Amino acid sequence: MKCKYEKLNGHCRRKALDNSNRGYCLLHEGWNHKNEEETKEEFYREIEEGETDFEGCILPEVNLSGKKIDGFGISFYKATIKGDIYFNDARIEGFVGFYGATIEGNAWFSNTTIKGQLIFTWAIIKGLVLIVKTTVEEHASFDGATIKSIAVYPSTKFTALTFKHAKFEDIRAEENACRMAKITQERLGNRASADYHLYREKVAKRKQKRCIWRYLELPIQYIFRYGTHWWGILFTWFLVAFGSAFAYWFGNGIAMANEIIGISSSSSFFDFLYSFLNCLYFSSVITTFGYGDFHPVGSFKLLATFEAIFGTFMWAVFIAIFTRKYAR
Ligand SMILES: [Zn+2]
């Protein structure tokens, strides 16, 4: 009887086990300590025979060290590896795919050559990922993956590396990994992706700082987005201009020709609206070019000074980020 496991396209071709409740083959049934040796034997025998599709298989380990895999690539799509995976000194002519796989041990790539893509998209890697002296000729993707820790040595050659939406347990590993990804994306000219990894690198770096510095840098992360987005600045500018306008209005803080414009000068709804809009106008103007038909009175001169400095600074940063993003 054939194994009943349904793959993405078609059925499993292996023979079902006699004692499987679900009618699965040895590699889909899931191993226990009693059949560990048997499972390994079956897996390596299939590798020798040129089998490359291990979708959904439950394997005790994957040791392809020193092996040469010809053809399109090797896939462990949604497989579960109960131990380590080793690709040391291996040469894979196509892709290496662990899309959606769960690896309970470590992943070792040392002196490995991968001619196609290295895919760990949506994979869960519970151990350490170590990549040394390895060449990946196409895209290495850890997008959406859950990674405990990853060490990628500079001796590794990636054409492209991405960690979009990847979750890291080790914050230092996240910083380094995102820096590597940023460099590959800059080299390819993928600026949006390079900025994404730059932002994640900076956030990871901030989180490693000592207590007070970790929080002092928060405005740089949320308002300036480490120079990767300009909308945080516009939003903050709007918030400050609007908030200050309300303060001027409520505190009767501005005047025109010695006549106070604020809540006290208003008696009807339209007066209220009119005086508030004038305060908003003053607040907006002072953060941009400071046209002086209205002037602050009393302690509100302090708020106006703050706004003027704030506005000048924010516009400078806005222009810097805008230029960085669109004019290079
Ligand atoms: Zn099967």
- C-alpha 124 – ligand 1 centre gap (Å): 22
- C-alpha 64 – ligand 1 centre gap (Å): 21
Q: Encoding tokens for residue 270?
A: 């339209």
- C-alpha 205 – ligand 1 centre gap (Å): 45
Q: Where are the beta strands (DSSP E) in 65-172?
A: 68-69, 73-75, 80-81, 85-86, 91-92, 95-97, 102-103, 107-110, 113-114, 118-119, 124-132, 135-141, 146-152, 157-162, 167-168
- C-alpha 27 – ligand 1 centre gap (Å): 6
Element (H, E) at 58: strand 58-59
Element (H, E) at 247: helix 231-250
pLDDT digit of tens for each residue in the chain (328 aa)? 899 999 988 889 999 988 888 889 999 988 676 788 999 999 999 999 999 999 999 999 999 999 999 989 999 999 999 999 999 999 999 999 999 999 999 999 999 999 999 999 999 999 999 999 999 999 999 999 999 999 988 889 999 999 999 999 999 999 999 999 999 999 999 999 999 999 999 999 999 999 888 888 888 888 888 888 888 888 999 999 999 999 999 988 888 887 888 888 778 888 888 889 989 988 888 877 766 788 888 898 899 889 888 988 998 898 888 888 787 6
- C-alpha 16 – ligand 1 centre gap (Å): 7
Q: How far apart are CA 145 and CA 214, in angstroms?
A: 26
Q: Encoding tokens for residue 185?
A: 């994306």
Model's pTM, two decimal places? 0.84
- C-alpha 157 – ligand 1 centre gap (Å): 36
- C-alpha 51 – ligand 1 centre gap (Å): 13
Domain ranges of the chain: 1-49, 61-169, 170-216, 230-326
